[in-house]
Amino acid sequence: MKIVRAKDYDDMSRKAADIISAQVMLKENSVLGLATGSSPIGAYQQLIKRCEAGDLDFSQVTTVNLDEYCGLDPSNDQSYRYFMNVNLFNHINIDPANTNVPNGICQDTESECARYENLIQKLGGIDLQLLGFGHNGHIGFNEPGSAFVAETHRVDLTESTIQANMRNFNSKDEVPRQALTMGIRAIMQARRIVVVVSGEGKARAVRDSVRGPITPQVPASILQLHRNVTLVCDEPALSLL
Ligand code: F6R
């Protein structure tokens, strides 16, 4: 695992955007796996600036997002589809038809998960997967548990994730309890993985993922088995390493 040390959140965001930009420049029709949350927002802002400046072209790029809350439709400002539109897609020259997020309001979860899994396979897998770490070491919404789940699946969010995500909702009751998430296989089959991690609150997750045993109790620890992972962390996130 390569660890890139960043001074602070802005530096982390620039460095992550550099890697993503290089990917898109070297392969115009890249498949990018994307994440939501506070960690990648700065990197998305960088990508938007570079696209606006004419330095980056997303016209042939396809994206697949990691996850979506169950029960939130795309017009809900807490849905991950809404987040991606507002924080990235609406501001770059990507074809909206080439942006994919699991459908959180599907009638049939099983067939939606199978559809998403097939879509990723049909695209030929993911060239670059961007990840954040949950405080509990989750990646996507693969929560700590007794086994790694390979495929796209529906998951019950843990109390710690519900608490962490509460900051975006008016009350804890409004935070969805379930989500659809890409499984460990599609993430691990990505040809390159870039993780952005910021803040002291994530230091334990970084330490356990990088130095701890590989265990489903810390889902991100599986990344130790991937050949091409770059962790871009600010100083506080690295404080326990
Ligand atoms: C988001 C996702 C999550 C987040 C993680 C960190 O699509 O899959 O795994 O990356 O919860 O969230 P932030 O960046 O908000 O701390």
**Residue 13 and residue 44: Cα distance in Å, rounded?**
8
Question: Would you state the pLDDT for residue 26?
Answer: 98
Among 68, 112, 143, 234, the one annotated catalytic: 143
CATH architecture label of 2-238: 3-Layer(aba) Sandwich (3.40)
Q: In sequence order, which ranges of 37-108 are alpha helices (DSSP H)?
A: 41-52, 80-87
Cβ 165 under 6 angstroms from ligand 1: no
Cβ 79 under 6 angstroms from ligand 1: no
In 3D space, the residue among 181, 183, 179 whose CA is nearest the CA of residue 72 turns out to be 179
Mutate to test the pocket of ligand 1, among 63, 66, 79, 83 (most ligand atoms within 8 A of CB): 66
Q: How far is the CA of 18 from the centre of ligand 1 (A)?
A: 20
Domain ranges of the chain: 2-238
Q: How far is the CA of 51 from the centre of ligand 1 (A)?
A: 24
How do the pLDDT tens digits run along the chain, 241 residues long?
A: 999 999 999 999 999 999 999 999 999 999 999 999 999 999 999 999 999 999 999 999 999 999 999 999 999 999 999 999 999 999 999 999 999 999 999 999 999 999 999 999 999 999 999 999 999 999 999 999 999 999 999 999 999 899 988 998 999 999 999 999 999 999 999 999 999 999 999 999 999 999 999 999 999 999 999 999 999 999 999 999 9
